[in-house]
Structure formats: structure tokens, C-alpha cells
Chains A and B, each alone.
Chain A
């Protein structure tokens, strides 16, 4: 009896969803992280900025956020079910926990909902599920962009400081740097720091200082996180080679942006979360409303390079909550 009811509901949902699509007004649900999460607030800013365009065409945008991350996978699945029951036309969803989310995402598609994966999941997953696109970041290309920037700046030997060696994303970042520099005929080596150094700014700074003093050919340092760059800045300065050694980091923080402004850091690599929210919402609405089909697959929002040339605009973006 219960099962029969459920089937009926699903069938009705599908029918209504199809009708809604035919009405050509995109009702979109976007699922995202908690309001307390600074990163997700930048994505939310992108969604909010895309909303007026969707509404101008008679559609709606509904941002369904996780209240917290305590009961993560079930909560995400619940939000997908909620979106299905709201009979939306389109769903933007980060594929954080594929095992848990995939069945619910497939149900959404079966109900006629068009899906875009955002921020987490990747292009392969989007293809596998039949989502219309993946909009987000990939670590390896981010590393490649960093390596190319260093090579173009004339750097010959860059140290990629990895405070979390062995983790897939940090390894991919350093490998990207190394491959890009290798392609330019110069080198980048990884410095894996043992766990005994993790979270001790002095241990990280002194390790970098020691490497710089030992190998005088090193002329660039890149760290896998913005926080590590704060330690690296002191390490570089203490090595006495601040003039020759350029600093860079993956991700942004306030202190790092201040260093770029002052000329103490060459650049930072940003995945530009604002664009993830903005593009995912508008691309999906356009696909539903007008049948557009973007040939670019996946749509990568990073790497975006922040350096002296765009630091003022970036800081303006920080002030507006978009960076």
C-alpha cells in the first residue's frame, strides 16, 4: 500500500515536472553547504546574482542549504528528495557522497529533472549519471596553471610544500606544478612534510628555510593551502633569499591577499567559487528555458590566478563577498 502510494507520487511528480518543462519557466533547486561555511557563502552569492535573470523569464531559484554537516550524507539525500517533491525543473547538486547521492539523483532524472553537478563530482561522474554538465574545479589543472605561471616568470626550481602528503587532491596539485614546469624545461620538486609538522607554523617555516638554504637553486615556493603560505612567507624571509625566491599558494586568505598587494607574494590560485554558483544556475536555466546546449564539458571555474595585476579587483570582490 505504501509502495503503491509512493509510485503514484513519483508518477505524478514526473508528469507535473514534464508539464512544467513544457511551460518553459525554469524552477531550479540548488543544493549547497551551510550558511556558516565561508566558501559556500561565495557560491551562494553567485546563485543570488543569477536569480534575477531566471526570474525575468518567469522561473524561480530555490537555494536548499544544509543546516550543518553533522548528519551529512542522509541530509544531502533528504534535500534531493525535497527538490523532487517540489517538482522543480532543474537541480544543481554537488556530488559529495556518490554512494548515497547517486540513487537519489537518478530518481530526480527519472522524474524529468535536469541535473548539473557543481563543485564536487567531476566530469566523469557527470557523464556517468547523465548530468548535463559539471561546473567546478579540478586540482591537477590548477597545479598546471601554477607551474606555467612560475615558468613564465622565469623560475627554474620550485618547491611544492605539501603538508598533507598522500592526500589525492594535494598530490594532484603538486604533480600539476611539476608537470607544467617539466614541460617548460625547468623543475619543481615536492617537499612532503611529516605529520609531526602539520599545524605547527614554526616547524613548517623552518623546514622551508632549511630547504632554501640547502639548495640555492630553489627560486620559487608554492604551498598547498593559504594557511601554509603564511608560514612559508616567514621561512622565505628568514632564509635571507626573499629577493630571489617567489612565493605562491593554492587558495586565498586575507593575509595572502595582503602579501600579494605588498609584493611579498607572487600569486595565488583560486577555484573561484562565485562562478560555480553563478554559472551552474544560469546555464541550467538557459538549458531548460531555451534548450541551449553548452559544448564545453566540463566547465572549470578555476584555476583563477590572483596576482599584482588583478589584486585591486580581487580585494573589491572580497569586500562584496564574491571572492
Chain B
């Protein structure tokens, strides 16, 4: 959010800009996303009343944003790098079921369940990444394949092992406090802390460490990036590992929080994460975007998705309102980005 050297996509202005000026801030990729966030916040503050902004109301969308955001950032980084991962939709129930079967059905240590879940997450990510770099098949299709394959594995193995499609899990002690509880017995999920910490780590990795620029270069032009000496293969695999492990992590934490795992579900995370990323200002074509933008985009999505319950609108219209507001947020973001970027060019040209 604040002043640091911005990652400029290859095809826009080369200016590093004066670090602290208002214009510099407004030209950052996340500025448009922030405006979209403000707009929907004001919309629901107006129609949803004060409850929406009270701690209980705020936690309502922050919790949803945290669950989604932990998946949306790595998905967004993949999109910036020109790839897509839709297998996250299967990794959420996969993560939930793995921990529930190991620590719930078999009653083994929760820490073992967590370790195995994370290992599975990394494994699927490695397979996804390796398939994408080894075959010329687009990542959308590769991960579509792994989406179905993992769904099949979850259903097949769960029923084989437990003879059921819903497995109960009771976790107590530190594991519950760390992965699936509410902070200080209040309204905020511990997931919110994970989300903030992970976002900070991603900001450092993408925008402050030298390797971050590689992701943008890959999305701009993969061949040139490889020719410039960027280890694009290793980077691609790393990003796929991050996204599938994050999704398995969310599934696992939800199972610990809700004391139960189902084989179905999780597919909404596919679209919801892509929507959050795009609302956050990442271009579908890759090469442009920012972690903070995705962070704002995720909050925007969560507000739109949950805000409706604080209004008096007929609930049958929820999906319509969600669709229209999200489209408006993206349009606003796009228009603003164009204005901001062309303003720079004009100044330089003048």
C-alpha cells in the first residue's frame, strides 16, 4: 500500500515515479481496486445500516475474505504469470477430508493429519506444475483434469474408508486454537491472522524481493523471460505448489473449525478466487497486477457476497446484486487504471 518501488509491467510506463506523491499512489495497480472496495463498502453501509460496520458485521465479511484470500493470492500470482489453477476447487474438500479421515475417523494425532494434508497439497501442486511445464497443454486444461481427478479420489477413498460422505472431526488444544477457532472467543476467525501474515509474506516476495519481478516477466512474455535467464519452470512449479497447498490448508482449517468434512463442496472457490483476483486489478492476460490489489479485490468480493444479508433486499435477488456490483467494481477499476496510466504518458509526452 505504501511507498516502495513498484513492480511495473513490461508494457507500461518505465517510470519508477516519485515514491510518496499522491499521483504515484494513484497510479499503483491496487489503487483502482481500493476505490472499488470503498464503493461497495459505502453501498452496503448505506443499505445495510450500522450492524454491517459493527465488529460482528465486519467479521462476517473479513472471515469470508480470509478464507478466500489465502487461496486467491497464489491463484492471482499464477494469473499474473500467465497461468490458471482451477484444481483449488477440489483441493479444499481434499484437505478437509484428509485431516478428518486421519484425525477424525482413525483418531490419530491431529498433527499427523495436518502434516499429511500439507504433503498432499504440495504433491498435487508439484504434479500440476510439472504437467504444465512438460506438456504444451494449457494450465486451464491440466488443472481441469486434476480438479476432476482429485474430486474422484476424495469421493472414492472417503467412501471406501469410512462408508460415508461426511466425516466428523473433533479437535481440541493448540491445534484448534492455531488452525480453526475464533480469536479471543470473539467473532474473528484465526484465519484472518493467517491471511494478513501470508499477504505480508507475499507482498515481500512479489514486490520487494528481486524474484518477484520474474513473475511479471513470465506473464508478459514467457520465452523472453526464459531467455533473460529467469528459471521459469521452477517458478511455475513453485506457484502451483503454493496455490494447491493453500487450498488444502483452507479445507483443513475449515474441517477443524466446523468439526466436520464433506466430500462435496469447495467448487465455489474456483470462480470466487478468479473473481477476486480480477476485481483486484489483475489482467486476465497476465503480466499486470499486485498482491495488495488482490487483497482489496478479495475484501470487495466478500463484502458484496455477505453484505446482502445486512440489507432488506429480497434474498432471491442476491445473485443478481452480487453480479452487478462485481461488474461495476471491475469497470471502475479498469476505467481508473486507464485514466491513471494515460495521465502519466501525457505528462511525460508534454
**Chain A contact residues, CB within 8 Å of chain B:** 36-38, 41, 165, 190-203, 205-207, 209-211, 213-214, 226-227, 230-231, 233-234, 238-240, 253-255, 258
Kindly list chain B residues whose C-beta atoms are within 8 Å of the C-beta of A41: 163
Q: Does B306 contact A (CB under 8 A)?
A: yes
Kindly list chain B residues whose C-beta atoms are within 8 Å of the C-beta of A205: 258
Contacting pair A209 B159 (CB below 8 A): no
Q: Does B7 contact A (CB under 8 A)?
A: no
- With A and B bound together, what is the CA distance between A256 and B295 in angstroms? 35
Contacting pair A200 B64 (CB below 8 A): yes
Chain A to chain B: the 9 pairs with minimum beta-carbon distance, closest first: A199-B265, A210-B309, A254-B168, A255-B260, A253-B166, A230-B260, A227-B262, A255-B168, A194-B319
Of the listed residues A194, A196, A205, the one surrounded by the most CB atoms of chain B closer than 10 A to its CB is: A196
Stretch at the interface among B54-62, B208-216, B341-349: B54-62
Beta-carbon nearest neighbor of B191 in chain A: A202
Q: B residues 126-169 with Cβ under 8 Å of A?
A: 156, 159-160, 163-169
Stretch at the interface among B74-82, B106-114, B218-226, B266-274: B266-274
Q: Does B264 contact A (CB under 8 A)?
A: yes
Stretch at the interface among B11-19, B196-204, B310-318: B310-318
- With A and B bound together, what is the CA distance between A192 and B271 in angstroms? 19
Contacting pair A200 B319 (CB below 8 A): no
Please tell me the number of chain B residues within 8 Å of chain A, measured between CB atoms: 50
With A196-B272, A202-B254, A207-B309 known, 14 other A-B pairs at CB within 8 A are A37-B159, A190-B315, A195-B268, A196-B322, A199-B265, A199-B268, A201-B254, A201-B265, A202-B64, A202-B67, A210-B60, A213-B51, A227-B262, A230-B262
Contacting pair A192 B165 (CB below 8 A): no
Contacting pair B318 A227 (CB below 8 A): no
Contacting pair B309 A36 (CB below 8 A): no
Contacting pair B309 A211 (CB below 8 A): yes
Kindly list chain A residues whose C-beta atoms are within 8 Å of the C-beta of B264: 199, 227
Contacting pair B159 A38 (CB below 8 A): yes
Given contacts A206-B306, A238-B187, contact A194 B322 (CB under 8 A): yes
- With A and B bound together, what is the CA distance between A177 and B269 in angstroms? 31
Interface of A is mostly: helix
**Chain B contact residues, CB within 8 Å of chain A:** 51, 56-57, 59-61, 63-64, 67-68, 92-93, 156, 159-160, 163-170, 182, 187, 189, 191, 254, 257-260, 262, 264-269, 271-272, 305-306, 309-310, 315-316, 318-319, 322
A226 smallest CB distance to B (angstroms) = 6
- With A and B bound together, what is the CA distance between A210 and B318 in angstroms? 14
Would you mind naming 10 contact pairs between A and B with Cβ atoms under 8 Å apart? A195-B268, A202-B189, A202-B254, A206-B64, A207-B306, A214-B309, A231-B258, A233-B258, A238-B182, A255-B168
- With A and B bound together, what is the CA distance between A112 and B316 in angstroms? 50
Contacting pair B305 A194 (CB below 8 A): yes
Kindly list chain A residues whose C-beta atoms are within 8 Å of the C-beta of B268: 195-200, 203
Contacting pair B167 A254 (CB below 8 A): yes
A219 smallest CB distance to B (angstroms) = 18
Beta-carbon nearest neighbor of A229 in chain B: B260
- With A and B bound together, what is the CA distance between A213 and B159 in angstroms? 38
- With A and B bound together, what is the CA distance between A198 and B318 in angstroms? 13
Contacting pair A200 B266 (CB below 8 A): yes
Kindly list chain A residues whose C-beta atoms are within 8 Å of the C-beta of B159: 36-38
With beta carbons under 8 angstroms apart, the residue of B163, B182, B257, B267 that contacts A38 is B163
Kindly list chain A residues whose C-beta atoms are within 8 Å of the C-beta of B267: 198-199
Contacting pair A191 B315 (CB below 8 A): yes
Kindly list chain A residues whose C-beta atoms are within 8 Å of the C-beta of B56: 209, 213, 238-240
- With A and B bound together, what is the CA distance between A264 and B257 in angstroms? 16
- With A and B bound together, what is the CA distance between A240 and B59 in angstroms? 13
Kindly list chain B residues whose C-beta atoms are within 8 Å of the C-beta of A211: 309
- With A and B bound together, what is the CA distance between A149 and B249 in angstroms? 39
Contacting pair A254 B260 (CB below 8 A): yes
Given contacts A198-B267, A238-B187, A253-B166, contact A36 B305 (CB under 8 A): no
Contacting pair A253 B164 (CB below 8 A): yes
- With A and B bound together, what is the CA distance between A191 and B306 in angstroms? 13
With beta carbons under 8 angstroms apart, the residue of A203, A206, A230 that contacts B259 is A230
Given contacts A195-B319, A199-B267, A209-B56, contact A253 B272 (CB under 8 A): no
